[in-house]
């Protein structure tokens, strides 16, 4: 006799669950000039395409609706036509099947591993801006650098060597691995919150091949970015694996971080700058995570309260307290018997400084996306910049 209420309850639960995607989609705000139809061109990025349709490009997965059943349904290719559809439940974007493009793709099967170049499909972010940072060890763990074998000399009496030259390196006893990266340690990356060293910026000097293990071992330089010097460090070469495409998504709620440094020898942070964050894999950061950058929290002088704005110099005299103490003080009483009652001094006025500074509120400065993650730090690309940014700025998940 109680079956009917239970069935009604189950139906209501199913209805509620079935409306969740529609509610989420309806919350995604479109760009003011979002096109009804857009043809993907060579050189486009997924981030750029998403920005044409959406106010917040990282919310693309919430509106993208793929109808491609051949190959990876999430990849978009030059020549595909994307159509925006507005419905009562929200906006949807999908390939335009009426155009005859993007609906059928021929996939050649063969009994071997098939490698697909990343640039065949539209990448998530500009690959040219991040290519040097995808496989090269630009960041080194502090223990890795500390215990890495060191370049100690060359066959000839020289201070530096280049490609095709041999180098002597301490403590490489095994013939496996046989390929190495020669690094030059740079600045230590310190967490601004804990002051702990998270790693070191490392300049890639050269790639080398092991000729003979030992102490010292002999390595031959096969590719050089710059001349190798005594004191450079040697680590096993990173395996260059193709970049797997990733898709933008808001970083987890509550995750906070700071910009540690800006890479590639520049000092200004703007669009397409590569920066490091003080959050990594152990903090839950993944490639594709999107953060907003905020400027603020700086202490500034209150020029009005200090009197710098309305300073009346005509009424200043040699006996005016402001002339000696400045305008940021007030008299709060008199002090007596100091420094001790046994050695009394004449009473003197007690002066306290007024609060003549303020802390600036946080303002949104830009958007970045993580593209490579290490244990305690990560690389990110600045995708948009509303105002100048600098090392130490706060990063936080987008407010969705």
The predicted-structure confidence for 331-365, as pLDDT tens digits, reads as follows 556 665 555 666 555 565 565 555 567 788 889 99
Structure tokens at 239: 């395996």
Residues 6+ apart with CB under 8 A from 181: 136, 137, 204, 206, 207, 208, 234, 235, 236, 237, 238
> Can you say whether residue 358 is alpha, beta or left, with left for phi > 0 and alpha for psi between -120 and 50 degrees?
beta
Burial of 48 (0-12, 13-18, 19+ CB in 10 A): middle
CATH class of 249-298+361-396: mainly beta
Closest to 36 measured CA to CA, from 90, 72, 77, 81:
81
Residues 6+ apart with CB under 8 A from 308: 301
* Cα–Cα distance measured from residue 258 to residue 246, given in angstroms and rounded to the nearest whole number: 23
List, for the chain, all residue ranges whose pLDDT scores fall below the cut of 50. 1-26, 69-71, 100-119, 311, 313-314, 316-319, 322-325
Q: Does residue 125 contact residue 369 with C-beta atoms inside 8 Å?
A: yes
> Can you say whether residue 303 is alpha, beta or left, with left for phi > 0 and alpha for psi between -120 and 50 degrees?
alpha
pLDDT confidence of residue 361: 86
What phi and psi values does residue 95 have, to the nearest 5 degrees? -65, 140
Residues 6+ apart with CB under 8 A from 209: 178, 179, 180, 219, 220, 222
Residues 6+ apart with CB under 8 A from 196: 190
**Matching residue, tokens 């040097």:** 132
What phi and psi values does residue 283 have, to the nearest 5 degrees? -95, 0
* Cα–Cα distance measured from residue 47 to residue 57, given in angstroms and rounded to the nearest whole number: 6
* Cα–Cα distance measured from residue 248 to residue 271, given in angstroms and rounded to the nearest whole number: 17
**Matching residue, tokens 């293990």:** 213
What phi and psi values does residue 375 have, to the nearest 5 degrees? -65, -50
If DSSP codes are grouped into helix, strand and coil, which group holds residue 23?
helix
Q: Give me the residue spans of the domains in the chain.
A: 21-98, 137-236, 249-298+361-396
Q: Does residue 202 contact residue 193 with C-beta atoms inside 8 Å?
A: no
Q: Does residue 224 contact residue 205 with C-beta atoms inside 8 Å?
A: yes
**Matching residue, tokens 């290519």:** 131
Sign, Cα dihedral of 313, 315, 320, 321: negative
Alpha helix positions (H), the chain = 3-18, 20-26, 46-53, 60-63, 127-130, 132-135, 142-147, 303-306, 321-325
pLDDT confidence of residue 67: 56
The tens digit of pLDDT for each residue in 153-162 reads 999 888 899 9
Residues 6+ apart with CB under 8 A from 173: 213, 214, 215, 217
Provide the CB-side half-sphere exposure for 195 (13 A, CA): 0
Structure tokens at 125: 């972010």
């Amino acid at each position: 006799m109680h079956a009917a209420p239970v069935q009604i309850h189950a139906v209501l639960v199913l209805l509620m669950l079935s409306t969740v995607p529609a509610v989420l989609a309806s919350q995604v705000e479109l760009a003011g000039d979002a096109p009804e139809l857009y043809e993907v061109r060579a050189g486009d990025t997924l981030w750029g395409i998403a920005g044409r349709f959406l106010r917040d490009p990282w919310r693309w997965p919430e509106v993208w609706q793929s109808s491609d059943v051949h190959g990876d349904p999430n990849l978009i290719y030059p020549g595909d036509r994307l159509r925006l559809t507005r419905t009562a439940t929200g906006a949807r974007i999908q390939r335009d099947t009426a155009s005859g493009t993007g609906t059928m793709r021929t996939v050649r099967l063969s009994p071997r591993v098939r490698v697909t170049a990343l640039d065949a499909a539209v990448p998530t972010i500009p690959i040219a801006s991040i290519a040097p940072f995808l496989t090269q060890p630009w960041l080194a763990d502090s223990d890795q650098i500390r215990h890495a074998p060191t370049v100690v000399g060359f066959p000839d009496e020289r201070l530096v060597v280049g490609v095709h030259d041999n180098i002597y390196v301490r403590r490489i006893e095994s013939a496996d691995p046989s390929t190495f990266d020669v690094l030059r340690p740079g600045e230590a990356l310190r967490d601004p919150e804990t002051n702990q060293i998270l790693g070191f910026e490392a300049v890639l000097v050269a790639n080398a091949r092991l000729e003979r293990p030992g102490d010292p071992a002999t390595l031959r330089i096969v590719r050089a970015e710059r001349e190798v010097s005594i004191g450079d460090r040697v680590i096993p070469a990173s395996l260059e694996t193709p970049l797997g495409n990733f898709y933008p998504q808001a970083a987890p709620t509550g995750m906070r971080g700071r910009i540690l440094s800006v890479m590639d020898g520049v000092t200004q942070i703007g669009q397409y700058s590569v920066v490091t964050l003080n959050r990594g894999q152990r903090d839950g950061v993944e490639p594709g995570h999107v953060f907003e950058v905020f400027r603020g929290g700086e202490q500034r002088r209150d020029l009005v309260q200090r009197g710098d704005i309305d300073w009346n110099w005509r009424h200043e005299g040699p006996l005016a307290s402001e002339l000696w103490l400045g305008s940021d003080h007030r008299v709060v009483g008199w002090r007596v018997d100091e420094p001790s009652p046994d050695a009394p001094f004449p009473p003197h006025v007690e002066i306290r400084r007024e609060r003549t500074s303020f802390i600036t509120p946080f303002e949104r400065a830009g958007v970045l996306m993580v593209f490579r993650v290490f244990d305690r730090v990560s690389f990110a690309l600045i995708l948009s910049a509303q105002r100048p940014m600098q090392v130490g700025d706060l990063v936080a998940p987008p407010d969705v």
